[in-house]
Structure 1
Amino acid sequence: MTSASSAEPPAFAVGVTQRVQIDPRHGERRDALDQRWHPFLAACGIVGVPLPNDPALALKSVRALGLRGILLTGGNDLAVLGGDAPERDATEAALLELAVRGLPVLGVCRGLQMILAHFDAVPTPVAGHVAVRHPLVFQGQSRTVNSYHGYGAAAAMVAMATAGALEVTAAVDGTVEAVRHRSLPIAGLMWHPEREAPFDPLDIEFFKNFFGATP
């Protein structure tokens, strides 16, 4: 029998949104998540809880499970950009509203694009940002990040569209690579931390600090 003093602390759980995969052969719309997210989040001291692409059910899961934050992951173009997963957009829009109540919401790649669209800075096609790496200064640290996005936004446009509500980090070409809301617990990264091998300690530190998963 495990004593109370040696018992593990409660899991720090964060809700994770999923891409929609359409399987016409079986007539199914499937929610799916890159397996690499789970070990990355575990390295951050976080348990990732996949959420369904249904606004009401996703919100119910957040409440019932006492989730400590929301991660909006990559995959699928936004519906406003011609994507075929409007249920995902509706789900993530509902989850973003939880930030008003203090729940941290972090977007990665498409997740950042969702944040931009939510604040009326709809992304547009960008060139030179798919399957490349580029230098970046993020939180005072010089580093190189991966890039897999065909849509983005110019930092100047985002500043104008959001009336300065989003603090922006841009690549050398002026394209937004990261944002942080100045008054709400909302942030976004355009690169994929889960795709780095090994995982970058700077990304792990950022996730821990943003979600408050530090001991």
Structure 2
Amino acid sequence: MNAVAITMRRDFVQGRHEVRDALESAWWDLLSALGHIPLVIPNHAGHAQALIEAFRPQAVILTGGGLPGPSDDSSERDRVETLLIDYAGSSALPLLGVCRGMQAIALRFGGSLCSVTGHVGTRSGVTSRFGTHDAHCFHEYALMEAPAGFVPLAIAFDGSIEAIEHRTRPIRAVMWHPERAGSLGQADTDLLRDSLKTA
């Protein structure tokens, strides 16, 4: 089993002065079914760096929840995800982004996001070369053009990009949430397995 570094969303608890890191529990079973062990990365750059150095994960997943950049109070998560993107790139390791994770990857590679409607709390069939995905979407910002070096893998009903992959590096990202599907369909299974495979 390979260790896969996986990020967490940052939740700010109003009235309690608490900041919590959280991960959708479905990721545990999903990664286990694919033969991987999750290495959960906190939203603290120093601790994230220490965990990477100690455990040397074989792949990286940037999960959903929130929006990268100055419009969201998550600068520490931005730093951690930049660190992980650079770690995966410098080691030629698989990198998978999910929703916010795709947005973070796109921004790191010079892409830009635009506001979209009709993508929050929706479910639709999205087709990629892996088949038709039961796409659970919860995003208000999307890509209309792939960043340099990337190609679209799936397109939404409104022309926005639902998935991208790098032309030469093992980087792939999706705007939907496969972990929220209840049971993983074959297209998502194949996409995730292929995205996280190591040499």
* Fold shared per TM-score above 0.5: yes
**Partner residue of 1:89 out of 69, 78, 95:** 78
Matching residue's letter, 1:132: T
Question: TM-score, structure 2 length as denominator?
Answer: 0.91
**Structure 1 position 188 matched with structure 2 position 173:** yes
Structure 1 moving runs of 4+ over 6 Å:
none
Query: Which secondary structure does the structure 2 equivalent of 1:183 belong to?
Result: coil
Contact 1:44 1:213 in 2 (8 A): no
Identity across matched positions, percent: 31
**Partner residue of 1:153 out of 126, 143, 156:** 143
Contact 1:46 1:213 in 2 (8 A): no
How many aligned positions are there?
197
Question: Structure 2: how far apart are the matches of 1:143 and 1:34?
Answer: 20
CA deviation profile, 1:91-135 (whole Å, cap 9, x unmatched)? 101110122321211100110011111112121210111111222
Contact 2:138 2:176 in 1 (8 A): yes
Contact 1:13 1:46 in 2 (8 A): yes
CA RMSD of aligned residues (A): 1.8
Q: Which residue does the alignment assign to 2:156? A: 171
**Structure 1 position 77 matched with structure 2 position 67:** yes
**Structure 1 position 115 matched with structure 2 position 105:** yes
State the Cα distance separating 1:17 from its structure 2 match. Answer: 0.3
Q: Which residue does the alignment assign to 1:7? A: none
Query: Which secondary structure does the structure 1 equivalent of 2:137 belong to?
Result: strand
Q: Which residue does the alignment assign to 1:144? A: 134
Contact 1:45 1:213 in 2 (8 A): no
Choose 112-121 or 205-214, whichever is displaced more: 205-214
CA deviation profile, 1:132-167 (whole Å, cap 9, x unmatched)? 12222211523432211111111xx33xxx33x111
Contact 2:5 2:40 in 1 (8 A): yes
What are structure 1's unaligned runs of at least 5 residues?
A: 1-10
**Structure 1 position 197 matched with structure 2 position 182:** yes
Question: TM-score, structure 1 length as denominator?
Answer: 0.85
Contact 2:134 2:181 in 1 (8 A): no
Query: Which secondary structure does the structure 2 equivalent of 1:91 belong to?
Result: helix
CA deviation profile, 1:62-119 (whole Å, cap 9, x unmatched)? 2211211111000022123x11111001110111012232121110011001111111
Structure whose alpha-carbon radius of gyration is higher? 1
Q: Which residue does the alignment assign to 1:208? A: 193
Query: Which secondary structure does the structure 1 equivalent of 2:51 belong to?
Result: helix
Matching residue's letter, 1:166: F
What are structure 2's unaligned runs of at least 5 residues?
A: none
Question: Structure 2: how far apart are the matches of 1:185 and 1:140?
Answer: 16
